[in-house]
Chains A and B, each alone.
Chain A
Amino acid sequence: MSDLSGYTPERTDWGRFALRWGLFVILGLFALWYLAPLFVMLTTSVKTLEEIRTGSLIALPREITFEPWAKAWSQACSGITCEGLRPYFFNSILLAVPSVAISTVIGALNGYVIAQWRFRGADTIFALLLFGCFIPFQVVLLPMAKMLGLLGLAGTIPGLMLVHVVYGIGFTTLFFRNFYVTIPADLLKAAKVDGAGFLRIFVSIFLPLSVPIVVVSIIWQFTQIWNDFLFGVSFSSAGSQPVTVALNNIVNSTTGVKEYNVDMAAAIIAALPTLLVYVVAGKYFIRGLTAGSVKG
């Protein structure tokens, strides 16, 4: 090895300073670029229609009004009904919460079995489930419609739930399987010697370890199901539409004047729950990561 004592850094302090600030400026510009639409949405949603017509798109509101928000929530018209987003928002909650819970539980059990209770054909089944992740939504529309019809669930929230659970299992299984393969096999063996059975080991030993991956699964599934439009528009009927479909209907209703402020408020309302999940669960995610890093 060469002697390092005579080494002098080529880059001066000033050069390092410029590089760092250059980086900040570039990152700042990107952040502005991405935040611009949100800014426009927020400002537009609290402007009056009059101000939108006369003012500039990126100007700050001269006077703030929350009327568009109230209208978007409870009065905006989609098609022939004028109840705002509210009923559809609750449809989405009714749809997303059980779907996320069910697909996460099934994924956890699948991952546990595939990663820890090795059985003949486990890899094949995992590969097939994985393949399910790559099937485009459009491909399953017709077979799924037929299935729902046969089950008598067409146009209902439970039907839509079933679609999302089935579609989500591939992803949740993948998450949990990849998490559980990193857990040493000795842990399962020790529990077996201690006399614990299949479910006991899962509930007492594996689930408490799984906080970080449960949070990942919840964030992923909630975002997918809440934001889904295609399944929602295909498999729901007038009373069971999720919020995304309602939002589309409100924005595309062409009766009377185009109320941009109401449209913007509706869009933000529809996006709020996913934001909330990221903010709340993201914190648990980090906490879960550090708690789970305890090695056995």
Chain B
Amino acid sequence: MAPVLTIRNLRKAYGETVILHDVNIEIEEGDFLVLVGPSGCGKSTLLNCIAGLEPITGGSVAIGGREMTKAPPKDRDIAMVFQSYALYPTMTVAKNITFGMKVRGVDSATQKRKLEEVARQLQISQLLDRKPGQLSGGQRQRVAMGRALVREPKLFLFDEPLSNLDAKLRVEMRTEIKRLHQDLGASMVYVTHDQIEAMTLATKIVVMKGGVIQQIGAPSEIYNRPANMFVADFMGSPAMNLIPATVENGQVAIAREGDEPILIDLPGGASLPRDVVLGLRPEDIVEPGARSGAHVVPARCKVEVVEPAGADTYVVSRLGGAAVTARLSAETQARAGQPLDVAFDLGKASFFEPQTGARLN
């Protein structure tokens, strides 16, 4: 079966300004692809290019195995949910949802059946006669999704659909979108700047920066083996600790202010250059004795800040000149200004080249 979406060597430029450089993406039926990156990384532009709302400068786009590079949006068999919901303000909810079908000349009996079906699915049946202005943010969001669902497209496109909702509703709708994806088995492309949304929703993540794809992979791969320091820093909260270190005689040395450096045996005898940046997730700095193995090394660190976060407590120390956060249990005895015994688990450690930021191991 042909992939649902194939993007080859896509390039997008406005005059001299290049927005997207050589983008290559492929997704299979049922994939949930999340495009994630900071503001201005080109992710929304890329989505508009997939939708056909922006012409592309070079390369090709195919949807469902059919060449679509020059096709207008209506011929691409897509549906789109926008950040601002983009509901037609003068139409009722029912008219908003059926507008596309009306334009395509679907007979009114089918329109009615599909409308009822989708309204039931999204629990908006009681809202069908209202105007968008009379709805809450969450309800508008549902209507916008309903408008996309009735289309039954090959590919759903979501442009930061949750960013206008408040925090609680956002988490609810996130779960709802995930459930929808599971129930429909539909293929989706989803744009967000929120890395938690990306991690929770995606089957496949594309991390972008400055119009260049940094890494494509499953969420666990992106999280555990970031391709470079940008991805390492962007994905995960609190962010991955990036600690300048030196490698000598098969040992990693992390400098400490007013103390002996911490020396850790390199796992797996990897060969590394002398200067590296050690990438360590906050949950890989643990209480001594919590984990065992050759790659777990105890060390005593001076605590700078203690941040209780309910289930966990984040403890900030300073190593190699960088702030280092450990995710410890809420029962930790850490006190600001006091030394604390912790253990470094290098089992999942990443090493990066300090200049280019590229992954070394």
How far, in angstroms, from A205 to B90 measured CA to CA in the complex?
7
Q: How far is the CB of B3 from chain A (nearest CB, A)?
A: 21
Interface: A19 (CB within 8 A): no
Interface presence of B83 (CB below 8 A): yes
- Interchain CB contact under 8 A, B88 and A191: yes
User: In the complex, which of the residues B51, B73, B86, B103 contacts A184, with contact meaning CB atoms closer than 8 Å?
Assistant: B86
Residues of A within 8 A of B87 (CB): 190, 296
A293 to chain B, nearest CB (A): 8
Partner of A296, one of B51, B80, B85: B85
For chain A, the bracket of interface size reads 20 to 34
* Contact flags B97-121 to A (C-beta < 8 A → 1, else 0): 0011001100000000000000000
Q: Does A192 contact B (CB under 8 A)?
A: yes
Q: How far is the CB of B47 from chain A (nearest CB, A)?
A: 10
Complex: how many Å from CA A295 to CA B53? 23
A205 to B73, CA, bound (A): 18
Once the chains bind, are B74 and A294 in contact (CB under 8 Å)? no
Q: Name the contact of B74 in the complex, choosing from A187, A193, A204, A209 (C-beta under 8 A).
A: A193
1/0 per position for B51-79, CB-CB distance to A under 8 A?
A: 10100000000000000000011100011
Q: Which of chain B's residues have a CB closer than 8 A to the CB of A204?
A: 88, 99
Give the interface SS of chain A, mostly helix, strand, loop or mixed.
helix
- Give A181-219 as 1s and 0s: 1 = Cβ < 8 Å from B's Cβ atoms: 000101101111111100010001100110000000000
Q: Which residues of A contact B48 (CB under 8 A)?
A: 189
Contact A294 B133 (CB under 8 A): yes
The CA of A294 and the CA of B84, in the complex, are separated in Å by: 13
B93 → chain A closest CB, angstroms: 13
- Supposing A294-B132, A294-B133 touch, asked if A192 and B53 sit within 8 A by C-beta, the answer is yes
Taking a contact as CB atoms closer than 8 A, the residue among A193, A195, A205, A208 that contacts B51 in the complex is A193
Number of chain B residues close to chain A: CB under 8 A: 27
Which of B73, B86, B104 interacts with A186 by CB under 8 Å?
A: B86
A207 closest partner in B (C-beta): B90
Q: Are A296 and B100 in contact (CB under 8 A)?
A: no
Measured CB to CB, the nearest residue on chain B to A200 is B103
Flag whether B131 is at the interface (Cβ < 8 A). Answer: yes
Check A190 against B89 for contact (C-beta < 8 Å): no
Do the beta carbons of A189 and B90 come within 8 Å of each other? no
Q: How far is the CB of A121 from chain B (nearest CB, A)?
A: 14
Residue B230 interfacial (CB < 8 Å): no
- Closest chain-B Cβ to A190's Cβ sits at a distance in Å of 4
- The answer to whether A205 and B86 touch across the interface, beta carbons within 8 angstroms, is no
Also in contact, A194 and B53, with CB within 8 A (given A186-B84, A296-B89): no
Nearest A residue to B76, CB-CB: A193
**B82 CB–A CB distance under 8 Å:** yes
* Contact A209–B82 (Cβ < 8 Å): no
Q: How many whole Å from B157's CB to the nearest CB in chain A? A: 8
- Which residue in A187, A195, A196 is a CB contact (below 8 Å) of B86? A187
Q: A296 contacts B103, CB within 8 Å?
A: no
Q: Are B86 and A209 in contact (CB under 8 A)?
A: no
Contact indicator A189/B80 (Cβ below 8 Å): yes
Residues of A within 8 A of B (CB): 184, 186-187, 189-196, 200, 204-205, 208-209, 293-296
5 nearest A-B residue pairs (beta carbon): A294-B133, A195-B74, A194-B100, A186-B86, A208-B90
Sample of 9 more A-B contacts, CB < 8 Å, known A190-B88, A296-B132? A186-B82, A186-B84, A189-B53, A193-B74, A193-B78, A195-B73, A295-B89, A295-B133, A296-B87
Task: Provide 29 A-B residue pairs closer than 8 Å at the C-beta atoms, listed in order of the A residue.
Answer: A186-B82, A186-B83, A186-B84, A187-B88, A189-B51, A189-B53, A189-B80, A189-B82, A191-B88, A192-B53, A192-B72, A193-B73, A193-B78, A193-B80, A194-B74, A194-B103, A194-B147, A195-B104, A196-B99, A200-B103, A204-B88, A209-B90, A294-B90, A294-B131, A295-B89, A295-B133, A296-B84, A296-B87, A296-B89
